[in-house]
Copies of this chain bind each other. A is one copy, B any other.
Amino acid sequence: MKQADISLIDSIKFNEAGLVPAIAQDATSGRVLMMAWMNEEAVNETFNTGFAHYYSRSRQQQWKKGESSGNVQRVLDMYLDCDGDTILLKIEQTGPACHTNRESCFYKHKQSDEWVIIEEPLI
């Protein structure tokens, strides 16, 4: 880990499991594509490579988004919130962000009493 990253990392409040949520937003369209978790290693890999890395809670390991699918996320800008406990990534997404091959993971839209799958955002 580069020395420079330490102060950046120190500002981040990881939760009791050592994780911080990261929101990935398409830098061009502004569409929110997904939310995933990062551990310290994933944050550092994201800093150092410029591509989004996350932590899989099910597989219990850090991973590069798109490593197998090719649907990588180039990080153009990175923000931390007021409390230091949530990260926002402005990204350039290659291919679909969602493992369902949809552009965004947020494709279930509340319409009165049900979640309806929509392929394009309404607004």
Number of copies: 2
Residue A120 at the B interface, CB < 8 A?
no
A120 to chain B, nearest CB (A): 12
If A11-B115, A83-B105, A105-B83 touch, does A78 touch B21 (CB 8 Å cutoff)?
Answer: no
The one of B27, B30, B79, B106 that contacts A107, using a Cβ cutoff of 8 Å: B79
If A30-B30, A82-B100 touch, does A110 touch B23 (CB 8 Å cutoff)?
Answer: no
A86 and B35 contact, CB distance less than 8 A: yes
Residue A13 at the B interface, CB < 8 A?
no
A82 and B110 contact, CB distance less than 8 A: no
The interface bits of chain A over 16-44 (1 if a CB of B lies within 8 angstroms of the residue's CB, else 0) are: 00000101010101111011000000000
Residue A122 at the B interface, CB < 8 A?
yes
A81 and B30 contact, CB distance less than 8 A: no
- Tell me, in angstroms, the Cα distance from A83 to B108 when the chains sit together: 10
- Tell me, in angstroms, the Cα distance from A79 to B31 when the chains sit together: 12
Measuring CB to CB, which residues of chain A are less than 8 angstroms from any residue of chain B? 4-5, 7-8, 11, 21, 23, 25, 27, 29-32, 34-35, 47, 76-84, 86, 88, 90, 98-100, 102, 105-110, 112-115, 122-123
